[in-house]
Amino acid sequence: MGRWKLIGLATAAAVLVSIILGVAIGVPVSKRNAESDLERATRILTESPLIDGHNDLPWQYFTNIKNQIDKVNLEDNIKDSWKNPPSKIPSQTDIPRLRQGRVGAQFWAAYVSCRTERRDAVRNTLQQIDIVKRFVKKYPQTFQFVRSAQEIRDAFKDGKIGSLIGVEGGHSIDSDLATLRMFYELGVRYMTITHSCNTPWADNWLVESGDHPSIANGLTEFGKNVIREMNRMGMLVDLSHVSFKTMTDTLDEAQAPVIYSHSSAYALCNSTRNVPDDILKRVKDNGGVVMVNFYTSYISCNQSYATLDQVADHIEYIRDTSSIDNVGIGADYDGVSYLPEGLEDVSTFPDLFAELVRRGWSDEDLKKLAGENLLRVLEKAEEFRDSQADAEPIDDWIEESDVKDYPCRSNFTQATGIEA
């Protein structure tokens, strides 16, 4: 064999070795095959469930078709199908796109407007819980209603999308612990302590901007009882939408890990819907998880534009400020009108994970982000619940003076016909 031929073969071998090493250690994206990153991301999401913390599809059922479930077929791509009246935003969720997005489990939000507070919030929330159970039952080949971490794993093993319910807003319980307990019996596994309105016992995020006056200065004593009772039952405490003081008060009180079902990093976008650094550090100590929201206003602080890369930046910031064990995904699909370029609907989750592959994330860390962190949090909540098996339910009532101006709520004397 000639000298130049040997040199040529040696050069080719060196190039091959450099390519293999480059893939192994991570090289600039321009020198790697983007499709291989997507394939790896997709493989990871077939091995471990992607658990999205917040999707508002039930609200779309209500606002577009008044919960008349047969008016839409989720087995079709329904992006432009909502009628009666047309949706303000194209649908971001249906079964084909959920499958394309490799969604393994989903918290469906039972959201009702703050306009129902002091009126018919409980009834409206029950309607939202009902529609979740109905569409899960209608598509048994796709969805499976689940109530525990193990049931999520079992559904994923069976190729089903484990479906859970989160009540989005403490106004839904009408300041009543018995209502909270009944929601848990119906399968609700988290409650967002406030939405964009105060309750008589907790302040919401708009207090920080001065748009709402503080009512509770964080949590009142009854608000602390709500946290205690949620811990006792094993219901996850969700701190998305609450004021910073409510976050602090809750973390002081909580005996089980908390979640943020759909919030991002305040340091990268100073919306008070996001989580500041001092709280991120406390979430690490608490063992909770912050599930990153995709809404452009909470990613770039620009209502109409953000990018997939910026969402990845929020994920990495929370990982670096808290830890890899304290970050998850809570996209907020079908609840927001503007989404980042590249993350327009539920089909795009693998693209986000492919970007993190390009950034050098390990398989183990990607699985934690996808759902293992949330599963651990839910398991810890269940462990604490089991440890409290002999504890009696908290039967304290809210102070009548705190709800005296609720027009549709009778006080104790009126309700019982006796003097308290």
Q: Exactly one of 94, 171, 195, 334 is catalytic; name it.
A: 195
Q: Exactly one of 94, 203, 241, 325 is catalytic; name it.
A: 241
Task: Say whether 212 is catalytic.
Answer: no
Task: Say whether 241 is catalytic.
Answer: yes
Q: Exactly one of 174, 238, 325, 332 is catalytic; name it.
A: 332
List CB contacts of 142: < 8 A, sequence separation 6 or more.
Answer: 74, 75, 95, 98, 99, 160, 161
Task: Say whether 154 is catalytic.
Answer: no
Q: Exactly one of 37, 52, 54, 355 is catalytic; name it.
A: 54
CA within 13 Å, CB half, 417: 0
Q: Exactly one of 56, 174, 325, 334 is catalytic; name it.
A: 56
For residue 233, give the nearest of 397, 395, 51, 383 by alpha carbon. 383
Per-residue CA distances from 120 to 8, 96, 171, 202, 212 (Å): 79, 35, 10, 19, 22
330-366 burial, b at 16+ Cβ within 10 Å, e below that, comes to: bbbbbbbebbbeebbbbbbbbbbbbbbbbeebeeebb
* Cβ proximity of 297 and 196 under 8 Å: no
Task: Say whether 168 is catalytic.
Answer: yes
* Cβ proximity of 241 and 204 under 8 Å: yes
Q: Exactly one of 94, 168, 238, 249 is catalytic; name it.
A: 168
Task: Say whether 195 is catalytic.
Answer: yes
How far apart CA 241 and CA 226 sit, in angstroms, is 16
Q: Exactly one of 37, 262, 334, 372 is catalytic; name it.
A: 262
Could you give the residue numbers annotated as active site?
54, 56, 168, 195, 241, 262, 332
